[in-house]
């Protein structure tokens, strides 16, 4: 029996720790078989059409002290900004004009932007697009207010399933983050979650636990992203996360969550040209296009100062190269007037 035949039974149901562990590190023919199985699972679930999101990075103020992230408050080199509602709406109009139907609001954990974000959500919803948030840990009541305003989904990555590692690197308890993830689901939003691959002290076992934790949370979206060293952070001298481990993790997630939205994150492209195409080929089905204006974008340095900024052209070229299509988009419309 060749490696592919031997691998086959577990490829489609990697439920045991040992299976997940082996698939995370597989190479060569077995890795190709894993990716092929992931693509087949995506197709069988009717999830081949690539979802496009338009992200607006609305504030780089942050309370959290994550060792991997340059927008941590200890980074005094960082010039801080917080957008106003009009700026967000002007950018939303650009997103909607491209026919993209998910407006993705991301920021540092910045309680001072909450009132503004609520107003922005209400007004973005007038254009009849979905609002996806990634704003960090909030109270249950705040999450509920986002829903009332019209948000329908929220990404809160657990980053790592190891509580000691999480506490050491992020500075707050993992249990708190997981409680927030439950609240997000309780108040009626779809949940996105995931890990970072390449944090110091992480082992293969930690990465298996990450996948098992994702299974426990039953998210609607799940991601694996390689670690990117950021300037002016305690982890700035570390190497980037491992590309192959990340791709394998994406493929395993596709097998375990066939119906999920799984992004090929920009960090993949940052560590390797063509990395996002590799992500789509491993089973991902989301690309996020950056609509943050350059002046702000340069200050939102979560993936290092020279991060890879995903443009619409790059996204379409990547989707075509993967032999896929973008998910049916709305008719591009003139929306600016609807905000008046
Ligand atoms: N403040 C929000 C959003 C954080 S930024 C929150 O707490 O959820 C969005 C994601 O970027 C983070 O969840 C983290 O997974 C990722 N990220 C930030 N810095 C990173 C780095 N240096 N390498 C890889 N991923 C990083």
- 3 state SS of 216: helix
Q: Which residues contact 9 (CB under 8 A, 6 or more apart)?
A: none
CB burial of 109-140 (b: ≥16 within 10 Å; e: otherwise) equals bbeebeebbbebbebbbebebbbbbbbbbbee
Pocket flag, ligand 1, residue 227 (CB < 6 Å): yes
Ligand 1 pocket, residue 156 CB under 6 Å: yes
- pLDDT per residue rounded down to tens, the chain (340 residues): 344 444 444 456 777 899 999 999 999 999 999 999 999 999 999 999 999 999 999 999 999 999 999 999 999 988 999 999 999 999 999 999 999 999 999 999 999 999 999 999 999 999 989 999 999 999 999 999 999 999 999 999 999 999 999 999 999 999 999 999 999 999 999 999 999 999 999 999 999 999 999 999 999 999 999 999 999 999 999 999 999 999 999 999 999 999 999 999 999 999 999 999 999 999 999 999 999 998 898 888 776 667 788 899 999 999 999 999 999 665 554 443 333 3
Q: Is the CB of 157 under 6 A from ligand 1?
A: yes
Would you state the pLDDT for residue 337? 36
> From CA 51, how far away is CA 220, in angstroms rounded?
13
Q: State the Cα–Cα distance between residues 227 and 235, nearest whole angstrom.
A: 10
Give the pLDDT score at 43. Answer: 97
| 14-339 topology per CATH | TIM Barrel (3.20.20)
Residue with tokens 């190709």: 32
Q: Find out whether the beta carbon of 267 lies less than 6 Å from any atom of ligand 1.
A: yes
Cα–Cα distance, 169 to 58 (Å, whole number): 24
Q: Which of 135, 157, 180 to mutate to test the pocket of ligand 1 (most atoms within 8 A of CB)?
A: 157
- Residue 314: what pLDDT? 96
109 lines ligand 1 (CB under 6 A): yes
The reply to whether ligand 1 has any atom less than 6 angstroms from the CB of 108 is yes
From the CA of 219, how far away is ligand 1's center (Å)? 17
Query: Is 69 annotated in some ligand binding site?
Result: yes
pTM more than 0.85: yes
Ligand 1 centroid distance, CA of 69 (Å): 7
Q: Cα(175)–Cα(168) distance, rounded to whole angstroms?
A: 13
CA of 4 to the centre of ligand 1 (A): 36
Nearest to 266 by CA among 311, 328, 327, 231: 311
- For every residue of 308-332, DSSP letters joined together read PPPPHHHHHHHHHHTT--B--PPPP
Provide the pLDDT for residue 2.
41
159 is in an annotated binding site: yes
Contacts of 119 (CB under 8 A, 6+ apart): 85, 149
What is the whole-number distance in angstroms between the Cα of residue 20 and the centre of ligand 1? 24
158 close to ligand 1 (CB < 6 Angstrom): no
Place of tokens 């954990």: 109
- Rounded to whole angstroms, the Cα distance separating 276 from 258 reads 19
**Is residue 66 annotated as involved in ligand binding?**
yes
> In the chain, what are the domain boundaries?
14-339
User: Half-sphere exposure (CA, 13 Å, Cβ side) for 189?
Assistant: 30
Cα-to-centroid distance, 112 and ligand 1 (Å): 19
> Which pLDDT score is estimated for 336?
38
Task: Compute the chain's Rg from CA coordinates.
Answer: 19
SS3 141: helix
With beta carbons less than 8 A apart as the criterion, state whether 136 and 156 touch: yes
Atom of ligand 1 nearest to the CA of 194: 15
180 is known to lie in a ligand binding site: no
């Amino acid at each position: 029996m060749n490696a592919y035949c031997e691998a086959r039974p577990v490829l489609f149901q990697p439920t045991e720790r040992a299976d997940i562990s082996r698939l995370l590190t597989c190479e060569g023919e077995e890795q190709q078989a894993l990716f092929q199985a992931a693509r087949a699972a995506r197709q069988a679930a009717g999830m081949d059409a690539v979802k496009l999101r338009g992200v607006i990075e609305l504030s780089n103020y942050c309370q959290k002290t994550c060792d991997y992230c340059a927008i941590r408050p200890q980074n005094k080199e960082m010039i801080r900004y917080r957008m106003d509602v009009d700026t967000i709406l002007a950018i939303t109009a650009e997103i909607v004009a491209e026919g993209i139907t998910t407006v993705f609001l991301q920021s540092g954990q910045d309680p001072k932007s909450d009132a503004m974000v609520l107003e922005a959500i209400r007004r973005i919803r007038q254009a009849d697009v979905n609002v996806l948030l990634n704003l960090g840990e909030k109270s249950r009541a705040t999450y509920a207010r986002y829903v009332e305003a019209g948000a329908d989904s929220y990404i809160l990555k657990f980053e790592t399933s190891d509580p000691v590692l999480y506490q050491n690197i992020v500075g707050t308890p993992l249990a708190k983050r997981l409680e927030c993830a439950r609240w997000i689901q309780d108040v009626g939003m779809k949940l996105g979650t995931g890990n970072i691959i390449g944090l110091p002290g992480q082992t293969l076992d930690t990465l298996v636990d990450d996948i098992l934790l994702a299974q426990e949370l039953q998210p609607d979206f799940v991601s694996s992203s390689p670690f990117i060293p950021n300037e002016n952070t305690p982890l700035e001298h570390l190497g980037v996360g491992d590309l192959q481990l990340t791709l394998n993790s994406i493929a395993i997630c596709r097998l375990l969550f066939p119906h999920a939205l799984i992004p090929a994150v920009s960090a993949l492209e940052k560590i390797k040209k063509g990395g996002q195409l590799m992500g789509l080929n491993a089973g991902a089905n989301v690309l996020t296009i950056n609509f943050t204006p350059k002046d702000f974008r340069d200050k939102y340095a979560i993936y290092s100062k020279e991060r890879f900024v995903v443009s619409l052209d790059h996204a379409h070229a990547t989707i075509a190269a993967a032999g896929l299509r973008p998910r049916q988009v709305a008719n591009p419309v003139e929306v600016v007037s609807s905000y008046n």
